[in-house]
Structure 1
Amino acid sequence: MKVYDVEGFPNPARVRIALAEKGATDKVEFIPVDVMGGEHRTDAFKAKNPDAVVPCLELDDGSHISQCTAITEYIDGTFDGPLLTGKTPQERARISMMNLRAESGLLNAVGDYFHHATPGLGPDLETDQCAEWGNKRKDVATRTMAYLDSVLDENDFLAGDTFSMADITAFAGLAFADFAQIDIPANLTNLSAWRAKVSARPSVSG
């Protein structure tokens, strides 16, 4: 299997953490994509992933899977190790719910702020900005941080007592927030403590 990505970018980080949690990092080949040079928008790359974003998983039969949630679900079902997407229907549903909230309300909201209300990746790539929209999305990201903090007041992790795909997504969202200079409010102590705990996991720190 091959993973087309950019090391250090938030969404690729989600897949890399999932692979590390499953002990499968050495089972895939990472292919760097020159996003800053616009490689992700070429016809050759869009033939692999019409969304024109990274990461993209290429299977041994030549087919492709994009979207981090779908890639993580494939990884979780393919490799041994701790389950990241849940075991029972209730666990799977709760993890899916929290993953979507973390993705939409935090990671994607930060991304919208970064790409619309800041210089983002530069004028060659940021060709259709709307600063008003971006700033509204920044507010969404901050509100989502507060929501996640409230969830963590009663749970060790975002979907219960076990580390899951939802935690990976939120962790990547906070890393992106750092890059976009959106701080975790000081009063959100549960979220900050959770982040420190996740940061110490070998899949993240190693």
Structure 2
Amino acid sequence: MKIYDVEGFPNPARVRIALAEKGAVDQAEFIAVDVMGGEHRTEAFKAKNPDAAVPCLELEDGTHISQCTAITEYIDAAFDGPSLTGTNPQERAQISMMNLRAESGLLDAVATYFHHATPGLGPDLETYQCAEWGNKQKDVAGQTMAYLDAVLAENAYLAGDVFSVADITAYAGLAFADLAQVEIPSNLTHLHDWRARMAARPSIAA
């Protein structure tokens, strides 16, 4: 299978971490997309992913799958190893809920702030900006960090006692926060400790 992405970007990182957790990095061919040059907005790329975004997974039969959650669900089901999405209905629902909270409240919120209230990727790519909306989403990201800290005060991982896609999403969200200069408050000690544990995982530290 092929994965169209940009190494180091937060959403592609989610897919790469999931592959590493499943021991399947060598099963994928990574194809770099020139996002800074606007390649993701070309008709050729949008034929693969109408969202005009990376990452995008291409299977051997030509099927294209976009959206990180969908891609990681495919990876989790396609390869052996500990489940990243849950092994029973309750686990799957809990993980899905926390993954959505980490995605919308942290990663997407930081992305909105970055693209709307900062220079972002530059004027050629940031063709529309609403600073008020961006700054509002920065506040949402801060609130979500505090919420995740409270969750981690009671649990080893975001969805309980087992590492999952929710942890991957939140970790990528905090990496994006670093890029966007959205600080994690120092008093959120559980979130800081969790992040240090995540950074030490072989799938991330490699």
- Please give the TM-score of this superposition, normalised by the length of structure 2: 1.00
Shift of 1:197: 0.2
Cα distance in structure 2, aligned partners of 1:4 and 1:148: 30
Cα distance in structure 2, aligned partners of 1:38 and 1:132: 26
Counterpart amino acid of residue 34 in structure 1: D
Counterpart amino acid of residue 159 in structure 2: A
What aligned pairs does 1:108-127 form with structure 2 within 5 A after superposition?
A: 108-127=108-127
Cα distance in structure 2, aligned partners of 1:47 and 1:189: 45
Cα distance in structure 2, aligned partners of 1:81 and 1:55: 22
Question: What SS does structure 2 have at the residue aligned with 1:48?
Answer: coil
Identical counterparts, % of pairs: 80
Cα distance in structure 2, aligned partners of 1:82 and 1:46: 33
Query: What residue is the counterpart of 1:26 in the other structure?
Result: 26
Deviations 1:4-42 (A, max 9, x none): 000000000000000000000000000000000000000
Question: What SS does structure 2 have at the residue aligned with 1:81?
Answer: coil
Deviations 1:156-202 (A, max 9, x none): 00000000000000000000000000110011000000000000000
Runs of 4+ in 1 over 2 A off after TM superposition: none
Q: Any stretches of 5+ residues in structure 2 without a counterpart?
A: none
What aligned pairs does 1:1-206 form with structure 2 within 5 A after superposition?
A: 1-206=1-206
Shift of 1:82: 1.1
Shift of 1:135: 0.3
Counterpart amino acid of residue 137 in structure 2: R
Cα distance in structure 2, aligned partners of 1:205 and 1:87: 26
Counterpart amino acid of residue 142 in structure 2: T
Deviations 1:42-75 (A, max 9, x none): 0000000000000000000001000000000000
Counterpart amino acid of residue 91 in structure 1: E
Q: Any stretches of 5+ residues in structure 1 without a counterpart?
A: none
Cα distance in structure 2, aligned partners of 1:40 and 1:182: 26
Question: What SS does structure 1 have at the residue aligned with 2:47?
Answer: helix
Cα distance in structure 1, aligned partners of 2:98 and 2:21: 19
Question: CA RMSD for the aligned pairs?
Answer: 0.3
Question: What SS does structure 1 have at the residue aligned with 2:103?
Answer: helix
Cα distance in structure 2, aligned partners of 1:107 and 1:36: 20
**Equivalent residues, number:** 206
